[in-house]
Amino acid sequence: YSFPSGHAMNNATLYTMLILLINRYVRNTPLKLTLSSICVALAVMIGCSRIYLGVHYAGDVLGGWLLGFALSVIIYSMWENKLQD
C-alpha cells in the first residue's frame, strides 16, 4: 500500500488530459460526450481494480485521482497560456 496510488494518479492524469483535449478539438457534441465518458469509465475502472485487487485502500485511489486531476489542469493551463503568447 502506498499513498497515493500511482496507477490511479497516472490514469487520472492521462484521461483528464484527453478529456480536456477532446473538449478543445472535437466539434461533434455526441462524439465529444462519448469519448469523454469512455475516458471517465476507464479511469474509474482502473481505480476500482486497485481496491478490488487489495493493493490500495480507497483513500489511496481517491488521492491519486485528485492529484492526477490537479496535475492535468495545471499542465493544460500552462499549455493554453503558451498558445496565447
Annotated active-site positions, please? 7, 56
On the 0-12 / 13-18 / 19+ scale of CB atoms within 10 A, 35 is: middle
Residues in the chain: 85
Nine-digit cell string for 45: 475502472
